[in-house]
A and B are shown apart, each in its own frame.
Chain A
Amino acid sequence: MKTPIQLRLNGEEVAAFADDGANLLDVLRESFGDLTVKGGCWQGTCGTCTVLVGGNPRLSCVTLAESCSGNSVETVAGLRRGADLHPLQSAFMEHFAAQCGYCTPGMLMAAKALLDRNPNPTREDVVDAICGNICRCTGYEPIIAAILDAARKGARRSA
């Protein structure tokens, strides 16, 4: 059985049919072609697939896609505005906060969820915001530094 799924994906209205019971991660990648969302476990344990649903961080691999129908979904594909990088993206670059890059999209979205809500986070706030996201390369420190720096530089922008 296929079920219709309609989302506001990074500000665009999109629709597709997906398998009943499909998770949001697979639907974003396979039905909507948004390959910026990466999958690391399909178990809800690594945070790699983090996206924002209705502005809130969600693990797309354990989110029933049709439960998001009618809702807004933000992925890293929507972070950039034209040629301009989001301040978080610039900060990740400046702080060398990515190595293999595979966890980066999920990290960025987890960080965005934080800064959208709390533009002046403490280090503890940042640590909490990314604590569901596994990074195997960096040791987290550059990522924490990048997020704090982005906050200092005023990462909050109207979506």
Chain B
Amino acid sequence: MLEMRKDIFADERDDDLREVGRPTQRQDILGHVTGTSAYYDDHRFANLLHLKVLRSPHAHARIRSIDDAAASRAPGVKRIIRGADVPVNLNTLLSLIQFGKDDEPSLATDTVRYKGEPILAVVATSERAAREALELVRISYDSLPAVFDVEEALKPGAVPVNPAYPKNTFDYHGKYDHQKLRFGDVEAAFAKADMVLEERYQMSPIEHAPTETNGSIAVPDTNGRFTVYTSTQALFFSLDTSAKINAMPSNQLHFVGGTVGGGFGGKVDTLTEPLAILAARLTGAPVRYRLSRHEEMQFGSPRGAERIYIKDGLMRDGRIVARKVRAYFDSGAYTRLSSYAVVKCVAHIPGPYTIPNVHADVYCVFTNRTPATAMRGFGVTALDFALECQMDKGAVAIGMDPLEFRMLNAYRDGDMKAHRRVAKNCALIECAQVAAEKAQWPLREEFRRMSSRKGGGEARPEVVADRSRAPAPAGTPRSPASTPQRVAYDRPQVDAKPPPSPPRDVPSPAGAPPSGSTHGVRRFSSIFGTRRR
């Protein structure tokens, strides 16, 4: 099933290793197949208490009053925790690396900003007793208008979601409501492009759904410390977040974890530890806070939705000369990690392609939904979806084989990327060649010879668009004409020849502007130098 192609890039590797490269059995496998691997909930304590939170039924509402008198008298209830009991009831996850403002309470006090936001916690002798007590809490709300669409949230007069960010966008650099990427001159390039292709993409949220839900057990230890057994994906991240929220010195906390039932990004947010520790502190007993599957599905943070607009300027020879992206990350009600995903997304634009003119504005937007967080492919998954669908459309539009179209534009060693760093160690072309060979996807000879290495192995080939190889389905019209540019371009292109490529690696004069406005394939390796920080 898996085949190693050791012959490719063999000259860049030493293959004389003893342990590295071997299919050694997992260290943890015996524990896994005997059921003895100890996850956080496989630790047992006498007199364990159980914590459940009351969650808002409203997407946006002011809390008028909370009556927990009956709940506090319910059988088995040891303690009720309200927002006022939380020592530092406002936090943002990335405050540990000084990114963003504290914006999220552990327990909402005056306003709830998403359906499912925790308002109050019950600590009881059983999960059942805690659940039953929650039924007895009476809360009256004044419902507030809510906003669920990222672009609606940015309109003037939109309902403000998060008081730390009244314009419903994260602040970048204290001056912008988005992160910018500027490279070359896209507008000039669009004006000269043979064709412009503008499309919209949307990804709904996605849930991590690890088989083990988020949870932790906080145990009062000797000498005033607390041992916390946790499902976290990031031990010190969770420890330091918990210390901050509980206003405790970090060495009062001893976190134990490391064997986790799947995460995929959904166990970074430290959803349970701070309240479990607080409850253990307030009751003097070990406390477990474990999300139910329903909570995990709906109120554990998902991968946030993204909306992405891409506009490409294409030349008839297959080169992409400009790419403009506008994207919106739906962060939900609070920041968590979405602010960071935006930067990661910006860094990823325009994908693994060398495009001389790139422009992007990416927004982290607040809406009244469950706060989003990291997930496998964070900041990139939806963008890759959008970019690669766009690439397919581009190939169809100019009538090229979609894989050859990608290879033609693929970044190679020495190319300048849009975030102004020189590409190195590239291998996109080789992946394409190997996959194509295996799947018997026909590539023309010049594409089979292409290389990611400096100089491209050989000069970047001159390519004539071969319309017969575009990926349109049988029976579909060949002209996906929806813009005037495309209509104009849709004529047969048998004679189309690109201008000759300039030789690679010829340094441009120092200080020359990004030369994306010409049609020749440019390599930008020395224009910006290597301004590493």
Q: Which residues of A contact B (CB under 8 A)?
A: 19, 33, 35-43, 45-46, 48, 75-77, 79-80, 85, 89, 92-93, 96, 98-105, 108, 134-137, 141
User: Do A37 and B211 form a contact, CB below 8 Å, given A98-B29, A102-B262, A137-B262?
Assistant: no
Asked if B35 contacts A134 (CB within 8 A), the reply is no
CB of A111, distance to nearest CB on chain B (Å): 11
B139 at the interface (CB under 8 A from A): no
Asked if A101 contacts B28 (CB within 8 A), the reply is yes
Q: Which one, A33, A46, A92, A96, contacts B211 given CB within 8 A?
A: A46
Q: List 5 A-B contacts (CB under 8 A).
A: A40-B293, A43-B294, A85-B33, A98-B29, A141-B1
User: Which residues from B are CB-within-8-Å of A39?
Assistant: 41
Asked if B36 contacts A38 (CB within 8 A), the reply is no
If A42-B293, A89-B34, A102-B261 are given as contacts, then 13 extra A-B residue pairs at C-beta distance below 8 Å, sorted by A number, are: A35-B44, A36-B36, A40-B213, A92-B32, A96-B29, A98-B33, A101-B28, A101-B33, A102-B212, A102-B262, A103-B261, A104-B35, A136-B210
**Beta-carbon contacts under 8 Å, B123-164 to A:** 126, 128
B39 at the interface (CB under 8 A from A): yes
User: Which residues from A are CB-within-8-Å of B210?
Assistant: 100, 102, 136
User: Which residues from A are CB-within-8-Å of B212?
Assistant: 38, 40, 100, 102
B65 at the interface (CB under 8 A from A): no
B482 at the interface (CB under 8 A from A): no
Q: Determine which residue in A39, A101, A137 has the highest number of CB atoms from chain B within 10 A of its CB, and name it.
A: A101
Q: Which one, A33, A42, A46, A76, contacts B35 given CB within 8 A?
A: A76
User: Which residues from B are CB-within-8-Å of A80?
Assistant: 34
CB of B273, distance to nearest CB on chain A (Å): 19
B496 at the interface (CB under 8 A from A): no
Asked if A136 contacts B211 (CB within 8 A), the reply is yes
CB of B96, distance to nearest CB on chain A (Å): 26
Q: Which residues of B contact A (CB under 8 A)?
A: 1, 25-26, 28-39, 41-42, 44, 126, 128, 209-213, 259-264, 292-294
Asked if B31 contacts A101 (CB within 8 A), the reply is yes
Asked if B293 contacts A101 (CB within 8 A), the reply is no
CB of B374, distance to nearest CB on chain A (Å): 16
- Chain B residue at smallest Cβ distance from A36: B35
Asked if B293 contacts A136 (CB within 8 A), the reply is no
Asked if A98 contacts B39 (CB within 8 A), the reply is no
CB of B460, distance to nearest CB on chain A (Å): 37
Asked if A105 contacts B35 (CB within 8 A), the reply is yes
Q: Determine which residue in B25, B38, B41, B210 has the highest number of CB atoms from chain A within 10 A of its CB, and name it.
A: B210
Bound CA span A77–B34, Å: 7
Bound CA span A42–B292, Å: 8
Asked if A38 contacts B39 (CB within 8 A), the reply is yes
Bound CA span A158–B433, Å: 52
Bound CA span A8–B29, Å: 28
- Chain B residue at smallest Cβ distance from A85: B33
- Chain B residue at smallest Cβ distance from A43: B293
CB of B41, distance to nearest CB on chain A (Å): 8
User: Which residues from B are CB-within-8-Å of A102?
Assistant: 39, 210-212, 261-262
Bound CA span A127–B262, Å: 22
Bound CA span A48–B262, Å: 13
CB of B28, distance to nearest CB on chain A (Å): 7
CB of A148, distance to nearest CB on chain B (Å): 14
Bound CA span A60–B28, Å: 25
Q: Which one, B25, B211, B264, contacts A93 given CB within 8 A?
A: B25
Bound CA span A101–B41, Å: 14
CB of B381, distance to nearest CB on chain A (Å): 16
User: Which residues from A are CB-within-8-Å of B262?
Assistant: 99-100, 102, 136-137
- Chain B residue at smallest Cβ distance from A35: B42
Q: Which one, A36, A38, A42, contacts B34 given CB within 8 A?
A: A36
Asked if A108 contacts B211 (CB within 8 A), the reply is no
User: Which residues from A are CB-within-8-Å of B264?
Assistant: 136
Asked if B35 contacts A75 (CB within 8 A), the reply is yes
CB of B529, distance to nearest CB on chain A (Å): 44
Q: Which one, B26, B30, B126, contacts A96 given CB within 8 A?
A: B26
Bound CA span A77–B35, Å: 7
User: Which residues from A are CB-within-8-Å of B293?
Assistant: 40-43, 45-46
Closest 9 CB pairs of A and B: A36-B35, A102-B261, A101-B32, A41-B293, A76-B35, A105-B35, A98-B32, A89-B33, A100-B262
CB of B502, distance to nearest CB on chain A (Å): 46
Bound CA span A136–B212, Å: 10
- Chain A residue at smallest Cβ distance from B259: A101
Bound CA span A49–B400, Å: 52
Bound CA span A37–B35, Å: 7
User: Which residues from A are CB-within-8-Å of B41?
Assistant: 39
Asked if A103 contacts B211 (CB within 8 A), the reply is yes
Bound CA span A93–B24, Å: 11
Asked if B209 contacts A136 (CB within 8 A), the reply is yes
User: Which residues from B are CB-within-8-Å of A48?
Assistant: 211
User: Which residues from A are CB-within-8-Å of B26?
Assistant: 96, 98
Bound CA span A45–B294, Å: 11
Q: Which one, A37, A41, A43, A104, contacts B33 given CB within 8 A?
A: A104
Asked if B35 contacts A93 (CB within 8 A), the reply is no
CB of A93, distance to nearest CB on chain B (Å): 5
User: Which residues from A are CB-within-8-Å of B209?
Assistant: 134, 136
- Chain B residue at smallest Cβ distance from A26: B127
Bound CA span A77–B30, Å: 12
Asked if B29 contacts A40 (CB within 8 A), the reply is no
CB of A156, distance to nearest CB on chain B (Å): 18
User: Which residues from A are CB-within-8-Å of B211?
Assistant: 38, 40, 46, 48, 100, 102-103, 134-136
Bound CA span A101–B264, Å: 14
CB of A73, distance to nearest CB on chain B (Å): 14
